[in-house]
A and B are shown apart, each in its own frame.
Chain A
Amino acid sequence: MIKLNNVSKVFFPHTPNEVLALNNINLHIKPGDFITVIGSNGAGKTTLLKVISGAETVNEGRLTLAGKDITACPEHERAADIGRIDQNPLAGTAAEMTIEENLALAFLRGKKRGLGQAVNESRRQCFRQALAETRLGLEKRLQAPVGTLSGGQRQALALVMATLALPKLLLLDEHTAALDPQAARQIMALTAHLVQTKNLTTVMITHNMEHALRFGNRLIMMHRGRIILDLAGEEKAQLTVPQLIEKFSAASGEDFADDRVLLETVHQNNVVA
């Protein structure tokens, strides 16, 4: 569905701070894929999602979406097909507007906006239904300003907003990382539920190796702007966390360097022991 051909992205080019964030990336995301992305610090995971969503432009290479070249399309023109959620719960919602107004903005994702009432009874009905799936009781609080919600509730709302208009592709950038463990579990469960019931093609960055293995049908590992591992199907399903770390070392020639990943891995091993 979406293809990246030889995509490269350089930050601060021609300066001492030059960073090659994406180094000749080739990736074909097929319809129905649920890809988890892991990688060390500064591997280019977030840049990859930003390049796909159009929040960042590429220096080299081409992107095509359903056969159409979108390399030069600005973010707002891709938004009809691509929903994105950031790590920061404040980023995906408008705090001073009500829940229903936020949803009304998402309802017309990528469509022309005219002079019709943004919130009417038929739309409310649809909003309530979508919010009920979060099981957080948000459907009873349509008129509450979003600023009064907790981080977990805001991220749940952001998820509903990203999926309400059924985008072709859903991009999740460590969307549970800033939440407390319980909220993170709820948001992950909601994510899996929405992706499955709405049959969404999804790319999810995570620093949680166990999540990376448990969710999705395909796993990508990134390092220094490159995709160093791309596993799918049976091969991914069989994999364990220690094997994954081993594969990383073998493919990159370095130890896995993301303290958050290691901490969680140690924690999981302790729990198992």
Chain B
Amino acid sequence: MEMVLISGLQQGLIYGFMALGVLLTFCLLGFPDLTVEGTFPLGAATTATAVMEGFDPIPAVLLGAMAGALAGAATGLMHTKLKVNNILAGILTTSGIYTVMLWAMGRPNISLLNKEDFFTQVLALCGITSGELSLRAMQISIILILFLMVAAARLLLGWFLRTDLGLTIRAAGNNEKMLSALGVDVNQTKLLTLILANFLVGLSGALECQLQGFADVGLGIGVLVAAIASVILGIMLFGRRSLSWLLTGVILGSILYRGLLALGLWLKLPAENFKLVTAVLVLIVLTLPNISVFNKKAAPRSNADALAQQGPIN
């Protein structure tokens, strides 16, 4: 049971970065960015390759995140400059990433056995030798490190989305034409959001690679639907009362989702069913009225609702 908790927290926090990224594109910008399926393994592959090339784990993880940002930029430029459909742009990037990963790694997967990992290096920077820690203490240290990183990302994002520049992201998802009429180049806003979101997804992949000690070109299969499930869980349970709740909620949703997966494994449920179960659950939730979070245009508040709430107009 303890392993369920540890694994749920570690995985949940790592995938929390991805949930934040998916929240940015899918929910706030209203851009169904499929690049995520490629960005996640790209982050892992870049980090693994960098470590094999002799980079320290911390800069290697940073490189992984930046590779993600580049992939986001590729999708963004395809969509804004070449006018490629948003979903297709993501698919094209993802497909291209597959080859890029094979080039970089030289083979479909890399094991980082016996290499110093990111968490060990962070602990070393704090003056802690991880060799002296018990396995349990090490697991908890990893959770602490991840928690501080996710919390920092959450706070930074919360601040950014309330700045003049950040506000344009939410406005672009709400009413693109209005934003353009107010003097904002909406294409730039989209590009910026995609870069930012895929940076977070790349970081997620990079950290996963460091935790698991390997990178694989197939790491991205199904991560998007899992991220969407996490985001939905977060929004359902913690609501969209405010931007702060939304941001914190999707991270908690991610932890909960990964916790449930870990619980399922512990209960020896057949793991091969998980992705189908997730897909079906996401489908059910999306078709439930009033919870639909990825379809904002279909659920505007009607005037009658507004009247009932606010009393007589004028």
The one of B173, B184, B306 that contacts A147, using a Cβ cutoff of 8 Å: B306
A104 near B183 with CB under 8 A, answer no
B165-202 with Cβ < 8 A to chain A: 165-168, 170-171, 173-175, 177-186
A92 near B167 with CB under 8 A, answer no
The one of B163, B185, B303 that contacts A151, using a Cβ cutoff of 8 Å: B303
Known: A113-B168, A115-B160. Is A95-B300 also a contact (CB below 8 A)?
yes
A111 near B310 with CB under 8 A, answer no
The one of B164, B182, B186 that contacts A161, using a Cβ cutoff of 8 Å: B182
B165 near A147 with CB under 8 A, answer no
C-alpha spacing A41/B80, complex, angstroms: 35
Contacts of A110 in B (CB 8 A): 182-183
Known: A95-B300, A105-B168. Is A80-B183 also a contact (CB below 8 A)?
yes
Number of residue pairs spanning A and B whose beta carbons lie under 8 angstroms apart: 120
C-alpha spacing A95/B307, complex, angstroms: 15
Known: A91-B177, A150-B313, A186-B314. Is A114-B164 also a contact (CB below 8 A)?
yes
B306 near A182 with CB under 8 A, answer no
A72-109 with Cβ < 8 A to chain B: 74-77, 79-80, 83-84, 90-97, 101, 104-106, 108-109
C-alpha spacing A186/B166, complex, angstroms: 34
C-alpha spacing A2/B186, complex, angstroms: 25
A150 near B167 with CB under 8 A, answer no
Contacts of B310 in A (CB 8 A): 148-150
Contacts of B162 in A (CB 8 A): 117-119
B178 near A92 with CB under 8 A, answer yes
Chain A 119-159 near chain B by CB (<8 Å), digits 1 or 0: 10000000000000000100000000001111111000000
Q: Closest CB-CB distance, B25 to chain A, in whole Å?
A: 16
C-alpha spacing A149/B178, complex, angstroms: 17
Contacts of A118 in B (CB 8 A): 162-164, 166-167
Question: Taking the complex as formed, is A16 at the interface, i.e. its CB lies under 8 A from any CB of chain B?
Answer: no
B183 near A76 with CB under 8 A, answer yes
Question: Taking the complex as formed, is B268 at the interface, i.e. its CB lies under 8 A from any CB of chain A?
Answer: no
C-alpha spacing A90/B297, complex, angstroms: 11
Question: Taking the complex as formed, is A183 at the interface, i.e. its CB lies under 8 A from any CB of chain B?
Answer: yes
Contacts of B184 in A (CB 8 A): 76, 79, 105, 113
- Say which size band chain B's interface belongs to: 20 to 34
Question: Taking the complex as formed, is B309 at the interface, i.e. its CB lies under 8 A from any CB of chain A?
Answer: yes
Q: Closest CB-CB distance, A44 to chain B, in whole Å?
A: 20
- SS of A interface (majority): loop
B167 near A105 with CB under 8 A, answer yes
A136 near B314 with CB under 8 A, answer yes
Question: Taking the complex as formed, is A253 at the interface, i.e. its CB lies under 8 A from any CB of chain B?
Answer: no
B314 near A152 with CB under 8 A, answer yes
Known: A91-B178, A95-B174, A183-B313. Is A76-B186 also a contact (CB below 8 A)?
yes
**Which of chain B's residues has its CB closest to A153's CB?**
B313
Known: A113-B184, A151-B303. Is A91-B160 also a contact (CB below 8 A)?
no
B306 near A105 with CB under 8 A, answer no
The one of B182, B185, B303 that contacts A105, using a Cβ cutoff of 8 Å: B182
Q: Closest CB-CB distance, A256 to chain B, in whole Å?
A: 31
Interface centre among B180, B182, B310 (most CB of A within 10 A): B182
A101 near B309 with CB under 8 A, answer no
Question: Taking the complex as formed, is A53 at the interface, i.e. its CB lies under 8 A from any CB of chain B?
Answer: yes
Question: Taking the complex as formed, is A233 at the interface, i.e. its CB lies under 8 A from any CB of chain B?
Answer: no
B164 near A108 with CB under 8 A, answer yes
Question: Taking the complex as formed, is A67 at the interface, i.e. its CB lies under 8 A from any CB of chain B?
Answer: no
Contacts of A75 in B (CB 8 A): 180-181
Contacts of B81 in A (CB 8 A): none
Question: Taking the complex as formed, is B296 at the interface, i.e. its CB lies under 8 A from any CB of chain A?
Answer: yes
Contacts of A80 in B (CB 8 A): 183
**Which of chain A's residues has its CB closest to B174's CB?**
A94
C-alpha spacing A114/B166, complex, angstroms: 9
B314 near A150 with CB under 8 A, answer yes
The one of A55, A83, A113, A153 that contacts B164, using a Cβ cutoff of 8 Å: A113
**Which of chain A's residues has its CB closest to B301's CB?**
A147
Contacts of B173 in A (CB 8 A): 96
Q: Closest CB-CB distance, A247 to chain B, in whole Å?
A: 33
Q: 17 other contacts beyond A84-B181, A109-B182, with CB at 8 A cut-off?
A: A53-B181, A79-B180, A79-B181, A93-B178, A94-B175, A94-B178, A95-B301, A96-B173, A96-B174, A106-B182, A108-B164, A111-B183, A118-B163, A147-B300, A150-B310, A151-B303, A183-B314
Task: Give chain B's interface residues, CB within 8 Å of chain A.
Answer: 160, 162-168, 170-171, 173-175, 177-186, 296, 300-301, 303, 306-307, 309-310, 313-314
Sampled A-B contacts (19; CB under 8 Å): A55-B180, A79-B181, A80-B183, A94-B178, A95-B301, A97-B167, A97-B170, A105-B178, A105-B179, A108-B164, A109-B183, A119-B162, A147-B300, A148-B301, A149-B306, A151-B303, A152-B314, A183-B314, A186-B314
**Closest CB pairs A-B (n = 3):** A79-B183, A110-B183, A94-B174
